[in-house]
Amino acid sequence: ALALDKVPKRMAVIGGGVIGLELGSVWRNLGAEVTVVEFLDRLLPPVDGEVAKAFQKEMEKTGIKFQLGTKVVGADVRESSATLHVEPAKGGNPFDMEADVVLVAVGRRPYTKNLGLEELGIETDRVGRVVVDDRFCVPNYPNIRAIGDLIRGVSTQTS
């Protein structure tokens, strides 16, 4: 999404989480028509509902469009565009969306494979996230901290 050689006319962002909204906002500010497709009936699932609604309103003011409660069920991909086949998540009439670029930004996952965490005895959960305490410290390693997609939950730590 950051390596495009030109600003697309139409961009579809699949996923209404932090990454999808951030990149959609960047491309909207560069001039693309951006539509965010989110399966849930709201944006930013881990964030307070009222905050998420206010954030959506601010993004709509910039021209970003939203298809909430909508799932992508297929796509026809061509060399310079795509047709997304979408339908309401709770059932209803399907419809198509055209886009020059499709950004898939669903789910966050930690990239901890081959970092040697096991050899150091650093504990990870079943999906590979590093276990930390309430100060983001790794147990038994007080000088090692983990933040962001590497840990469970929404990280508010910035430095």
Domain count, the chain: 2
Q: What would the pLDDT profile of 62-92 be if each residue is shown by its tens digit?
A: 999 999 999 999 999 999 999 999 999 999 9
Q: Is 90 contained in some domain?
A: yes
pTM for the predicted model, two decimal places: 0.75
What pLDDT score was predicted for residue 53?
98
pLDDT at 96 over 80: yes
Pair (77, 137) in one structural domain: no
Structural domain harbouring 72: 10-104
CA distances from 11 to 2, 18, 46, 57, 119 (A): 13, 17, 24, 19, 43
Q: What would the pLDDT profile of 2-41 be if each residue is shown by its tens digit?
A: 789 999 999 999 999 998 999 999 999 999 999 999 999 9
pLDDT at 158 over 60: no
Pair (94, 130) in one structural domain: no
Pair (79, 18) in one structural domain: yes
151: exposed, middle or buried (Cβ count in 10 Å: 0-12, 13-18, 19+): buried
